[in-house]
A and B are shown apart, each in its own frame.
Chain A
Amino acid sequence: MSFLSLEGLSKRFGTHTAVDGLTLAVEKGEFVSLLGPSGCGKTTTLQMIAGFVEPSGGAIRLEGRDLLAMKPAKRGLGIVFQSYALFPHMTVAENVAFGLEMQGVAAVERSKRVGETLELVGLGAFTGRFPRQLSGGQQQRVALARALVIRPQILLLDEPLSNLDAKLREEMQIELRQIQRTVGTTTILVTHDQAEAMALSDRVVVMNHGRAEQIGPPHEAYERPATPFVANFLGRTNLVNGTTVRPEKIWFATSGLAGKVRTRIFQGNHWLYQVETAGGLVTVIRQNTGEAMPGEGESVHLAWDGVPPHATRGEVSAKRTEGS
């Protein structure tokens, strides 16, 4: 029996079906991401687990117990909200202590655990500050500490890093992963950022129109996408003769699919090419190893694993994922 299970979970708002029969089993200590574009039902799913949205159908079980029968205040889940939702009129320490106070934890024990948790997230020196005196990243850590301090059975993260800038987001991803490993809390992350989901999770649930298109480890979903939607959502793809080829799996060879470089963009650690071929545009990504690369307008040949070059004269189409 799995730790947390969603069984045929559905939510309809009027005629619109936000979540459509979602079934998912999460093991204890696992980090699972609900990944998908906005409106795919991932946030609604999280809200149903948290208890802020009532499902139209299906069940949620935590260690076999019916979670839906429990009030949101009794579920004992730690939640980090997209807006952080810190209590603006309380200090950092008071914010973190609030949940322990609600549990009736004695003052001495309370301040000890608050101190430990704030140390864990690296905010030991900020206990007396108010949320508005903190940077976005620091507020994020307070929100995480506040959710973790109550030792929740499950940690729910609702787009926790989306309000941070790119560099900080990457740092926080690493830190979040380390903290989750340290405390071992079962975690469910909701995100629209496929890189974030893949960096953090043991398994990803790629969602579209309220359904799970694929559930599996990030590497598997990326390498063997179950549907075209998953393939496109997890990264750039080229669709050649009905099979998908990732741009970074294509290299320039002396023979193979002939083409001409239309654009070449330098992106620091790699080069991004658009190559015009008989069948259409092919996107190619090559690592920047320092050696000379074909320039714009040059004739090239493209090759990739598993497909003999002569078989690739058919239809070629390149697709790009939004935001990647």
Chain B
Amino acid sequence: MSKNGPIALVYHTLFVTFMLAPILVVCFVAFTPEGYLSFPTDRWSLRWFYAIGRYPEFISAFWRSLWLGALSSAIAVAFSVPAALAIGRHRFRGRDAMTALFMSPLMIPHVVLGIAFLRFFTELGLGGTFVGLVLAHIVIVLPFALRLTLASAVGLDRSIEHAAISLGASDGTVLRRITLPLVLPGLVSGWALAFINSFDEVTMTVFIAAPGTETLPVRMFLYIQDNIDPLVTSVSAVVIAVTVAALIVLDRAYGLERLLVGRSVDGR
């Protein structure tokens, strides 16, 4: 493979700068010692990180987002596993339509989902409740969980299970000792990808969260709508740090490329 020329490298540098600049600027400004938006020039300060402590609604929104992400992703994975086994290993009537339905939250604008959930939950008396948030988040993260569980279900060599059966294993034993352990990496990464997407979701959630059930992105969004000050940059910096940490773990454990491009383990 030939090397990139100098022009390509200059272009690459500019591109990476473009991608990183807005993220880095948020992180830098978060360390400003001043009371207004500015780069920390001669001195770095953690005052705006301490300031978060004086805004309990940010703290509680942070924990709520963590719980919401963990819970809805776990439930989404639980729903995905049998569906992935069905779609990945059987040919049946309605299979494509079913896959399209489960993947549809990726294509339906989140604003439409937000409106639909707002209307639906209000009718059910679930408007602005945590239960409503969980239900809605299960739906929007399920495609991510399904995609990775599906990849591992498809990548699984059927003859491995046949081998276990031929050695006398019952259906339950095959599932417990062979199938589940082999799809586990897919489940864990599916959960992680679902978690990140739930943790970041704002468009749909802004419709269905009430003042007592705001998630962190929603709180940040509403705060920015009113005014932009260094406080929101320090909150954003924390969110970025959490996501980057999760990303690095995911990259080491599963490979970010595989996670996002979605190729099966050995390409078979």
Q: Determine how close the nearest CB of chain A comes to the CB of B168; give it in whole angstroms.
A: 4
Q: Does B181 contact A (CB under 8 A)?
A: yes
Q: Are B168 and A99 in contact (CB under 8 A)?
A: yes
A residues near B162, Cβ cutoff 8 Å: 50, 52, 72, 79, 81, 85
A residues near B159, Cβ cutoff 8 Å: 81-83, 85
Q: Does A89 contact B (CB under 8 A)?
A: yes
**Chain A 59-87 per-residue mask, 1 if CB under 8 angstroms from chain B, else 0:** 00000000000001111111101110111
Name, among B164, B167, B169, the residue most crowded by chain A CB atoms within 10 Å (CB to CB).
B167
Cα-based distance from A74 to B159 in the complex (angstroms)? 17
Q: Does A98 contact B (CB under 8 A)?
A: yes
Q: Are A76 and B182 in contact (CB under 8 A)?
A: no
The 4 residue pairs across chains A and B that have the minimum distance between CB atoms: A99-B167, A102-B168, A85-B159, A85-B163
Q: Does B157 contact A (CB under 8 A)?
A: yes
Q: Are B157 and A102 in contact (CB under 8 A)?
A: no
Cα-based distance from A50 to B164 in the complex (angstroms)? 12
The 8 Å CB contact of A72, one of B160, B166, B173, B178, is B166
Cα-based distance from A87 to B170 in the complex (angstroms)? 16
Q: Are B168 and A150 in contact (CB under 8 A)?
A: yes
Q: Does B165 contact A (CB under 8 A)?
A: yes
The 8 Å CB contact of B168, one of A52, A74, A83, A85, is A74
Name, among B162, B164, B169, the residue most crowded by chain A CB atoms within 10 Å (CB to CB).
B162
Q: Does A146 contact B (CB under 8 A)?
A: yes
Interface of A toward B, CB cutoff 8 Å: 50-52, 72-79, 81-83, 85-89, 98-99, 102-103, 146-147, 150
Q: Are A73 and B165 in contact (CB under 8 A)?
A: yes
Interface class of chain B by DSSP: helix
B residues near A51, Cβ cutoff 8 Å: 165-166
Q: Determine how close the nearest CB of chain A comes to the CB of B93; give it in whole angstroms.
A: 15
When A81-B159, A102-B173 are in contact, do A88 and B182 touch as well, CB less than 8 Å?
A: yes
* Chain A, Cβ-Cβ closest to B178: A87
Cα-based distance from A131 to B86 in the complex (angstroms)? 28
Q: Determine how close the nearest CB of chain B comes to the CB of A87; give it in whole angstroms.
A: 6
A-B contact count (CB 8 A): 59
Interface of B toward A, CB cutoff 8 Å: 157, 159-160, 162-170, 173, 177-178, 181-182
A residues near B165, Cβ cutoff 8 Å: 51-52, 72-73
Other CB < 8 Å A-B pairs besides A73-B170, A102-B167, 4 of them? A85-B159, A88-B160, A88-B182, A89-B181
When A83-B157, A83-B159, A102-B173 are in contact, do A77 and B182 touch as well, CB less than 8 Å?
A: no
Cα-based distance from A73 to B173 in the complex (angstroms)? 11
10 A–B contacts, CB within 8 A, in A order: A50-B162, A51-B165, A51-B166, A72-B162, A73-B166, A82-B159, A85-B159, A85-B163, A98-B169, A147-B166
Q: Determine how close the nearest CB of chain A comes to the CB of B51; give it in whole angstroms.
A: 48
Q: Are A78 and B166 in contact (CB under 8 A)?
A: yes
B residues near A77, Cβ cutoff 8 Å: 166
When A85-B159, A102-B173 are in contact, do A75 and B166 touch as well, CB less than 8 Å?
A: yes
Cα-based distance from A315 to B16 in the complex (angstroms)? 74
Q: Determine how close the nearest CB of chain A comes to the CB of B151; give it in whole angstroms.
A: 16
Cα-based distance from A85 to B174 in the complex (angstroms)? 13
B residues near A102, Cβ cutoff 8 Å: 167-169, 173
Q: Are B169 and A85 in contact (CB under 8 A)?
A: no
A residues near B157, Cβ cutoff 8 Å: 83, 85
* Chain A, Cβ-Cβ closest to B162: A52
A residues near B160, Cβ cutoff 8 Å: 85-88
Q: Are B181 and A79 in contact (CB under 8 A)?
A: no
Q: Determine how close the nearest CB of chain B comes to the CB of A70; give it in whole angstroms.
A: 11
Cα-based distance from A76 to B177 in the complex (angstroms)? 19
Cα-based distance from A240 to B163 in the complex (angstroms)? 48
* Chain B, Cβ-Cβ closest to A81: B159
A residues near B181, Cβ cutoff 8 Å: 89
* Chain A, Cβ-Cβ closest to B167: A99
B residues near A98, Cβ cutoff 8 Å: 164, 167, 169, 177
A residues near B166, Cβ cutoff 8 Å: 50-51, 72-73, 75, 77-79, 147
When A81-B159, A102-B173 are in contact, do A87 and B168 touch as well, CB less than 8 Å?
A: no
Cα-based distance from A77 to B181 in the complex (angstroms)? 25
Cα-based distance from A86 to B163 in the complex (angstroms)? 8
Cα-based distance from A52 to B163 in the complex (angstroms)? 10
B residues near A147, Cβ cutoff 8 Å: 166
Q: Are B168 and A103 in contact (CB under 8 A)?
A: yes
Q: Are B168 and A73 in contact (CB under 8 A)?
A: yes
* Chain A, Cβ-Cβ closest to B174: A73
B residues near A86, Cβ cutoff 8 Å: 160, 163
A residues near B167, Cβ cutoff 8 Å: 98-99, 102, 146, 150
* Chain B, Cβ-Cβ closest to A95: B163
Cα-based distance from A83 to B155 in the complex (angstroms)? 13
* Chain B, Cβ-Cβ closest to A78: B166
Cα-based distance from A96 to B243 in the complex (angstroms)? 43
A residues near B173, Cβ cutoff 8 Å: 102
* Chain A, Cβ-Cβ closest to B265: A88
A residues near B178, Cβ cutoff 8 Å: 87
A residues near B170, Cβ cutoff 8 Å: 73
Q: Determine how close the nearest CB of chain A comes to the CB of B77; give it in whole angstroms.
A: 19
Name, among A73, A81, A82, the residue most crowded by chain B CB atoms within 10 Å (CB to CB).
A73
